Amino acid sequence: MKLKNSLLICAVCGLVLSMSSCEGNTPGVNLENGHEYVDLGLSVKWATCNLGATAIDDPGLFYAWGETTHKGSYEWSTYIHGTGKNNLYAYTYQPGDLLTTLLPEDDAAYVLLGEKWRMPTIEEFEELRTKCTWKWAQIKNTMGYYITGPNGNSIFLPAGGFQDATHNVSKNLYGYYWSSTLDTTNVICARSLDFVTGNVNCSSSSRFYGQSVRGVIP
């Protein structure tokens, strides 16, 4: 879960990387439905930018888990799939609807990028975490991780923080990326990739928080 009151202040010396547009003609980058992706040599191919971003260093927009639109405030009272632990409308596992992965209509990447796109599963984030080289880096004023796959191709994940109510928390310190996977041990949460300089984990976050989304394709 998130550290909200005691943030680790890290001294970082970032690698300054050249900028790239999400719609440019970058070597090693291909297009699917008008959106760029990179083949890292893994089981899925990864978008070059976050949802709502216009450049690789742009954190983009934030989304609650299972929602497909950006909004002004992220809290249980604005969450479309429930209002808390005892009042969930969908993705309740058991007893309930038995759903453990987002349906296409609730998958922000599928809805916003097109039919072949979707949000990564937690297993695909784990593959990204364990099979790639991660280097804390800086592009212009944005911190994040420069991730190099087994085949030598790379993507950048900005440390955009997360959105709690109307407040952005931990920008340029932490990154929080939603997977499409429900936390079946605690269904008010969903699985996510969380990172700070020197530490990358697959963990869980409360579903109402606004977090970054990065799309994948087969």
The per-residue pLDDT for range 123-155, each reduced to its tens digit, is 999 999 999 999 999 999 999 999 999 999 999
Residue 123 per-residue DSSP state: H
**Residue with structure tokens 């606004």?**
210
Average pLDDT over residues 207-218: 98
CA 22/CA 36 separation, integer angstroms: 6
- Dihedrals phi, psi of 75, to nearest 5 degrees: -160, 170
What is the structure's pLDDT at 21?
A: 63
26 band by pLDDT with thresholds 50, 70 and 90:
low
85 band by pLDDT with thresholds 50, 70 and 90:
confident
CA 201/CA 137 separation, integer angstroms: 17
**Contact (CB, 8 A) for 206 and 78:** no
CA 102/CA 179 separation, integer angstroms: 9
What are the pLDDT digits (tens) for 107-125? 999 999 999 999 999 999 9
Average pLDDT over residues 162-181: 98
The token pair at 170 is: 């931990």
The token pair at 110 is: 């599928």
- Dihedrals phi, psi of 18, to nearest 5 degrees: -70, 150
Which pTM was predicted? 0.89
Is the torsion defined by CA of 123, 124, 126, 131 positive or negative? positive
By C-alpha distance, which of 20, 4, 44, 65 is closest to 158? 20
CA 46/CA 216 separation, integer angstroms: 5
- Beta bridge partners of residue 138, listed in sequence order: 16, 143
Task: Tell me how crowded residue 40 is: count the other CB atoms within 10 A of its CB.
Answer: 22
What is the structure's pLDDT at 28?
A: 73
